[in-house]
Amino acid sequence: MGGVLGMSTGKGKKRLRDVPALYDELKSAHRLMLTPTAWKKLQEIAVQKSTSVSELIETWARNYDDE
């Protein structure tokens, strides 16, 4: 799984184990199967946005609009 790439909980906030940092619920581990090309692209986008691949996918999913 991808590590945190510059991910921040906000200035002066320390992350605590088993305490949600960015949302009102804890994240849990899930497995994704991606091509190496897709994984590399997600990592590049995450670096550009100073976040993690996990947070990039989380943000996309939370903002996804069903049409």
Give pLDDT, residue 64.
92
4 pLDDT band, cuts 50/70/90, is very low
**Which among 43, 66, 65 is positioned nearest to 56, based on CA atoms?**
43
Residue 4 vs residues 19, 46, 56, 66: alpha-carbon distances, Å: 17, 9, 11, 29
| Interval 19-61: pLDDT, tens | 766 667 787 899 999 999 999 999 999 999 999 999 999 999 9
| Average pLDDT score, the chain | 79
Give pLDDT, residue 48.
97
**pTM, full prediction:** 0.63
